[in-house]
Amino acid sequence: MSEDQSNDNDIAEDQHGPQALPLDAWHRARGGRMVAFAGYHMPVQYEGIIAEHLWTRENAGLFDVSHMGQLEFSGEGVAEALEALLPGDISALKPGRLRYSLLLDENGGILDDLMITNRGGEYYMVVNGATKWDDIGHLREHLPDEITMTHLDEHALLALQGPKAAEALAKLCLEPAFPGMPKLDDLKFMQSGPFFWDGRPLGVSRSGYTGEDGFEISVRGEDVEALAEALVALDLVRPIGLGARDSLRLEAGLPLYGHDLTPETDPISADLGFAISKRRRAEGGFPGAERILALRESGAPKKRVGLALEGRMAAREGATVHLGDAEIGVVTSGGFSPSLQHPIAMAYVDAAYAGEGTALEIEARGKRLPARVVPLPFLPHRYYR
């Protein structure tokens, strides 16, 4: 395949330690406590994880997610080429629409989860920061030469999330990039469009990973500080760190790659069967299709479930799940829920014990913590539909 923005230095991004994102100095000036994450220095918190979490649930939080990979694909037959690697119906994706999908290996294991958008002849993909270099290598290897992949490595990515995100973003008076394009207010969940803000181009989608209404905004690195500054100047908006991003997505029942999803995980066990479009279920033709579709028919032996814990002690990743003397699963994400005021977790358990209300125990730090299976998400999603 051809590439018009890539070089050998891409693959060696972490040889000299964590890299600085475009907003690095901005985060530090605002009191962000920086940690190494996915090969970058990133803010884990500013004023405190619980305060930032609750602010986002009630107002609007601004997240820097510029560590994630932003890719563009073009060329004749691009949708069909992507369908050879993803289980979604990319050909049917209308311009301005985006879809959650999965990058799969030949056995149906999950290499990454991602968002893909039809930008009208080109496709825009956002992949996870911790896996983006592997994803880029995998895509280069498996896409045909006629497809051009562009790594938008000079772009930043911001997420504005919360019930007041739309009200806040409206104050910046974004203009559609072309006549007849939807206005910002017209965007519904999983819709996107090109906009201008103060003459600066933005790619805006109504999406996010907190369970709240919100937007993800692709912006040139040279413009991101001005945009971030304009947003946090609003009373509705505060900067939010990685810690609250994790607790928010956990309450929303959303899996995190590298924890709840791995190459050893299949889409059916992970309860992500919705990512396999109806046509693709009928036709197959994606990696691991035979195994995945067989699991869909027969049922997977393990299932990702939500667990509500009693008491105040949280169960963390790797804690084992038990029914009496039998070990029947393992926790993949867990923590204290600031919104619900009790610990919650996601785990893979034997399918026989995945039913709602099943009483289980989690072994954590030498103690058995009572837990019960509850529906996901833990909190209802509040997407703008």
Query: Is beta strand 110-118 parallel, antiparallel or unpaired with respect to 98-104?
Result: antiparallel
Q: Are residues 22 and 170 in the same domain?
A: yes
- Amino acid 121: pLDDT: 84
Q: Are residues 329 and 187 in the same domain?
A: no
**Spatial distance between the Cα atoms of 251 and 49, rounded to a whole number of angstroms:** 14
* Closest of 334, 253, 279, 287 to residue 110, by C-alpha: 287
Query: Is beta strand 40-45 parallel, antiparallel or unpaired with respect to 19-20?
Result: parallel
Q: Tell me whether residue 271 is in a domain.
A: no
Domain limit, last residue, from 213, 228, 250: 250
Confidence (pTM) = 0.95
Q: Are residues 375 and 229 in the same domain?
A: no
Look at the chain and report how many structural domains it folds into: 2
Q: Are residues 212 and 355 in the same domain?
A: no
Q: Are residues 308 and 222 in the same domain?
A: no
**Spatial distance between the Cα atoms of 155 and 144, rounded to a whole number of angstroms:** 25
Domain limit, last residue, from 231, 250, 269: 250
Question: Which domain CATH number covers 317?
Answer: 2.40.30.110
Q: Are residues 228 and 320 in the same domain?
A: no
Question: Which domain CATH number covers 98?
Answer: 3.30.1360.120
**For 288-337, what is each residue's pLDDT tens digit?**
999 999 999 999 999 999 999 999 999 999 999 999 999 999 999 999 99
Token digits for 201? 């181009």
Q: Are residues 362 and 231 in the same domain?
A: no
Q: Tell me whether residue 184 is in a domain.
A: yes
Spell out the residues 6+ positions from residue 323 whose beta carbon is closer than 8 angstroms to its own. Answer: 353, 358, 360, 361
Q: Are residues 340 and 225 in the same domain?
A: no
Q: Tell me whether residue 287 is in a domain.
A: no
Sign for the pseudo-dihedral over CA of 56, 243, 125, 10: positive
Q: Are residues 34 and 138 in the same domain?
A: yes
- Amino acid 2: pLDDT: 54
Q: Tell me whether residue 168 is in a domain.
A: yes
**Spatial distance between the Cα atoms of 100 and 103, rounded to a whole number of angstroms:** 10
Q: Tell me whether residue 42 is in a domain.
A: yes
* Closest of 364, 367, 375 to residue 315, by C-alpha: 364
**Spatial distance between the Cα atoms of 190 and 183, rounded to a whole number of angstroms:** 14
Q: Are residues 319 and 227 in the same domain?
A: no
The domain of 338 spans 301-385
> What is the overall mean pLDDT for the chain?
95
Is 126:36 a contact under the CB 8 Å cutoff?
Answer: no
**For 47-61, what is each residue's pLDDT tens digit?**
999 999 999 999 999
Q: Are residues 87 and 230 in the same domain?
A: yes
**Spatial distance between the Cα atoms of 227 and 265, rounded to a whole number of angstroms:** 38
Spell out the residues 6+ positions from residue 134 whose beta carbon is closer than 8 angstroms to its own. Answer: 111, 112
Domain limit, last residue, from 250, 277, 312: 250
Q: Tell me whether residue 13 is in a domain.
A: yes
Using DSSP, state whether 97 is helix, strand or coil: strand
Is 373:358 a contact under the CB 8 Å cutoff?
Answer: yes
Q: Tell me whether residue 340 is in a domain.
A: yes
Q: Are residues 245 and 308 in the same domain?
A: no
DSSP string, 257-326: BTTTB-TT--TTTTT-GGGS-HHHHHH--STTHHHHHHHHHH--SEEEEEEEESSSPPP-TT-EEEETTE
Q: Tell me whether residue 61 is in a domain.
A: yes
What are the beta bridge partners of residue 217? 158, 204
**For 99-116, what is each residue's pLDDT tens digit?**
999 999 999 999 999 999
- Amino acid 15: pLDDT: 54
pLDDT below 50 — which residues of the chain? 3-14
